[in-house]
Amino acid sequence: MGKNTLNIIADTLARAIYRDAIIMLINDTSGDKTLSHIVTFTPAIASLYSRKSANSDLQLKESITVINIHGKVVTIFKATTESSDIKKSKFLESQSHARQCLVFTTTGMSTLNKQRPADMLHSLLLPPGSDI
């Protein structure tokens, strides 16, 4: 975790959200009413694989992303993508689509997409245009 990221997290933590394996920390950026930061944490998959080697440091590491959002974050909802046509295989449906979060701010709405490595691999293996 870089020093800048630590400063953003420690500055003014307004809210912490944990939902469906997503951790989001919302920062109020020192009273700035036009900008917020959302800090997300995900496991670093490559470091988990490297733990198998004899020389590994046996530490669990996370990837950290800082997202700048215009306005103050009011709330975050997970968007539902359930389709009545595809109820047979919920597992395949969840693998094929990124989960979306709707971020409502004082200036509007934004969407955040969360994909796991398995989701990214699935989208790479699909023929072009099959997701339309």
Total-model pTM: 0.57
Domain layout of the chain by residue ranges: 13-49+59-125
Residue 30 has pLDDT above 80, yes or no: no
SS3 content of the chain, % helix, strand, coil (to 5): 25, 40, 35
How far is it, in rounded angstroms, from Cα 45 to Cα 58?
A: 13
Nearest to 46 by CA among 61, 29, 31: 61
Task: For the beta carbon of residue 72, count every other beta carbon within 10 angstroms.
Answer: 17
pLDDT, one tens digit per residue, over 10-23 is 556 777 777 666 67
* Low-confidence winner among 68-72, 73-77, 91-95 (lowest mean pLDDT): 91-95
